[in-house]
Amino acid sequence: MSTPSAPIPRPLYGLVAEFATPEELLEATRRARSAGYRRLEAYTPFPVHGLAEALDFHQTHIPLVVLLGGIAGGVGGYFLQYWINVLDYPLNVGGRPLHSWPAFIPVTFELTILIAALAAVFGMLALNGLPMPYHPLFNVPRFALVTRDRFFLCIEARDPKFDRIETRHFLESVAAYDITEVEP
């Protein structure tokens, strides 16, 4: 948290600027990055391609989480059946081998998919920090339009380059539609 030269009447979460189109938001995000801002987040009513790249956000870790989930499900599923039907509770069905692996494939497959899917969903939620019952941006009345047709860019106060006045000037220079201070 940097201390700007101007006195701060109240602590601030950041400044949020509103845009009418994804193109304007994308342009503003790129310019904010090149102006040196790092603690940025863009908010949109639908996924806008190129925005994550403009925020220099590439690694989602989701594929890795899903892969690990799938491996755990597959290996665990096969071992579960092997342990039950071969080791713990061997059952002679018509003299067929106890370790009749082809018969174990369907359940192994289903458990691979199940655990991978659970990992995808809960991994995504956890990495996104959801569920999050409170967020400072919900205090901004116009921010409700983020789920309708408006696009927002928030520069957070913990950005080293953040300054209440300077940042507002910067946002005005990128043609923001409306700029609001966000209380924490």
Find residue 16's DSSP bridge partners: 154, 180
Nearest-approach distance from CB 91 to other proteins, in angstroms: 6
Amino acid 113 reads I
Query: CB-wise, 66 or 155, nearer to other proteins?
Result: 66
Q: Which of residues 77-116 bind other proteins (CB under 8 A)?
A: 80-81, 84-85, 88-89, 91, 93, 96, 100, 103-104, 106-107, 109-111, 113-114, 116
Binding to other proteins, residues 4-43 (CB under 8 A) = 20-24, 29, 41-43
CA dist., res. 153 & res. 134, Å (int) = 19
Least distance from C-beta 7 to other proteins, angstroms? Answer: 24
Kindly identify the residues of this chain, within the stretch 123-182, that bind other proteins according to CB under 8 A. 123-125, 127-128, 130-135, 137-138, 143-149, 172-173, 175-178
In whole angstroms, what is the distance from residue 168 CA to residue 93 CA? Answer: 76
Contact 162, 2 (CB under 8 A): yes
* Closer by beta carbon to other proteins, 12 or else 40: 40
Q: How far apart are the C-alpha atoms of 74 and 76, rounded to whole Å?
A: 5
Taking the C-alpha atoms of residue 163 and residue 73, their distance in angstroms, rounded to an integer, is: 49
